[in-house]
Chain A
Amino acid sequence: MHIVTFAAAGGIHGIPILAVEEFTRPVPVTPVPLADRRVAGLMNLRGKSGTVIDLRKCFVKPHGEPSPNGKMILLETTDRLTEEARQLSVQVFREPVVLLVDRICDIFPIRFQDVQPRPAHVPERFVTGVLKHGKDYVSLIDLMILIDDILNPRGTS
Chain B
Amino acid sequence: MEESSVIQEFILETTHVLQTVEQDLLSLERASDVGTLSRVFRSLHSIKGSSSFLELAAIEKLSHHAETLLDLLRKDKRKLTPPMNDALLKCVDQLREMLQQPDFGQTINLDATLASLESFIKGEPPAPPPPKPAPVLDAPVTGSTVHTRIQSILPSIPASILPETIPPIPSPPPTPPLVAASPPPSINVSVSVPVKSGEASANSSPRIEVMVNPPVNMTASLPPKSVTSAAKPAPEPEPAEEDKMMRVRVKFLDDLLQLTGNMVMARNQLLAKYNFADDPAFITLSQCVTEVHKTIVQTRMNPIGSLFDRCERLVRDLSRQLAKEVKLEITGRELELDRSVLESFADPLMHLLRNGMDHGLEATADRQAVGKPRTGLLKLGAREQSGEVILSLADDGRGIDLDAVKDKAVAKGLIPASRAAMLNRRGIMDLLFMPGFSTRDDVTSLSGRGVGLDVVRTNIEQLGGIVEVDSNLGQGTTFTARIPLTQALVSSSLISAIIVKSGEQRYAIPQTAVDEIIRVNPEGDRDRIHRISGQSVYQLRDQVLPVVSLTEVLGLPVQEEGDGARILIVMQFRGQLFGLQVEGILGVEEIVVRPLPELVRHCKIFTGHTVMGDGRVALILDGNGIISHRKLVFADEFHNRHNGHAAERSDGPQRLVVFSFADDEFFAIPLEMVSYIEKISTAAIKKVGAREFIQVNQRTMPILRIDKVMSVSAMTPHKEAYLIIPARVNYPIAVLAGRSVSVVDVAEHYESRLSDGRGMLGTFMHQDRLVMLLDLYHLFERHSPDQFRSSPLETRPAHILVAEDSPFFQNLIRSYLENPPRRLTIVANGRLALELLQASPEEFDILVSDIEMPEMDGFELVKKVRLDARLRTLPVIAVTSLATTEHIERGLREGFDSYLIKIDKEQLVKTIERNIERGMQHRAVTKALANRAEG
Contact A49 B599 (CB under 8 A): no
Contact between B599 and A97, CB atoms less than 8 A apart? yes
> Do A42 and B597 touch across chains, with their CB atoms under 8 A apart?
yes
B262 touches A47 (CB 8 A): yes
Neighbour of A49 across the interface among B505, B603, B605, B611, CB < 8 A: B611
Given contacts A30-B617, A30-B619, contact A39 B599 (CB under 8 A): yes
Segment 17-68 of A: residues with Cβ below 8 Å from B: 27-36, 39, 41-44, 47, 49-51, 53
Whether A42 lies near B262 (C-beta < 8 A) is: no
Q: Does A124 contact B (CB under 8 A)?
A: no
Q: Does A151 contact B (CB under 8 A)?
A: yes
Are B617 and A44 touching (Cβ within 8 A)? Answer: yes
A92-104 vs B, CB cutoff 8 Å, 1 = contact: the mask equals 0111110000000
One of A30, A35, A50, A147 near B603 (C-beta < 8 A): A35
Structural contact, B611 and A47, CB atoms closer than 8 A: yes
- Residue in chain A with minimal CB distance to B597: A51
Q: What residues of chain B lie closer than 8 Å to A150, measured between beta carbons?
A: 599
Q: How far is the CA of A95 from the CA of B555 in the complex (A)?
A: 26
**For residue B605, which residue of chain A has the nearest CB?**
A34
**Which residues 66-110 in A have Cβ within 8 Å of B in the complex?**
93-97
- In the complex the two chains form, is A32's CB within 8 Å of B600's CB? yes
Given A47-B262, A51-B597, the answer on whether A33 and B616 have CB atoms closer than 8 Å is no
Chain A stretch 97-151: residues in CB contact (< 8 A) with chain B: 97, 147, 150-151
Which residues from chain A contact B598 at a C-beta distance below 8 Å?
51, 93-95, 151
Bound CA span A51–B594, Å: 13
Which residue from chain B places its CB closest to the CB of A52 in the assembled complex?
A: B599
Q: Check: B110 CB closer than 8 A to any chain A CB.
A: no
Chain B residues 560-581 with CB under 8 Å of chain A are none
Known: A42-B597, A43-B617, A151-B599. A49 touches B555 (CB 8 A): no
Q: Which residues of B contact A147 (CB under 8 A)?
A: 599
A32 to B553 alpha-carbon distance, docked (Å): 12
- Residues in B with CB closer than 8 Å to A151 are 598-599
Complex Cα–Cα for A41 and B606 (A): 13
CA distance A77 to B617 in the complex (A): 20
Bound complex: CA of A36 vs CA of B617, how far in Å?
Answer: 18
Q: Do residues A32 and B603 form an inter-chain contact, with CB atoms below 8 A?
A: yes
Give the interface centre of B265, B556, B605, B616 by most chain A CB atoms within 10 Å: B616
Q: Which residue of B lies closest to A35 (CB)?
A: B600
A44: B residues at CB distance < 8 A: 611, 615-617
CA distance A32 to B600 in the complex (A): 8
User: With an 8 A cutoff between CB atoms, is B359 at the interface?
Assistant: no
Any A CB within 8 A of the CB of B6: no
Q: Is the CB of A42 within 8 A of B600?
A: yes
Answer whether A41 and B617 are a contact pair too, CB < 8 Å, given A30-B505, A49-B597. yes
Q: Please give 15 more A-B residue pairs, beta carbons under 8 A apart, in addition to A34-B603, A150-B599.
A: A28-B615, A28-B616, A30-B616, A30-B618, A33-B555, A33-B556, A33-B603, A35-B599, A35-B600, A42-B597, A42-B600, A47-B262, A49-B611, A93-B598, A151-B599
A-B interface, 8 closest residue pairs, ranked by CB to CB distance from nearest: A47-B262, A33-B554, A30-B617, A42-B617, A51-B599, A34-B603, A51-B597, A35-B600
What are 17 A-B interface contacts by the 8 Å CB criterion?
Answer: A27-B615, A30-B505, A32-B603, A32-B619, A33-B556, A34-B603, A34-B605, A36-B599, A39-B599, A39-B600, A42-B609, A47-B265, A51-B597, A93-B598, A94-B598, A96-B597, A147-B599
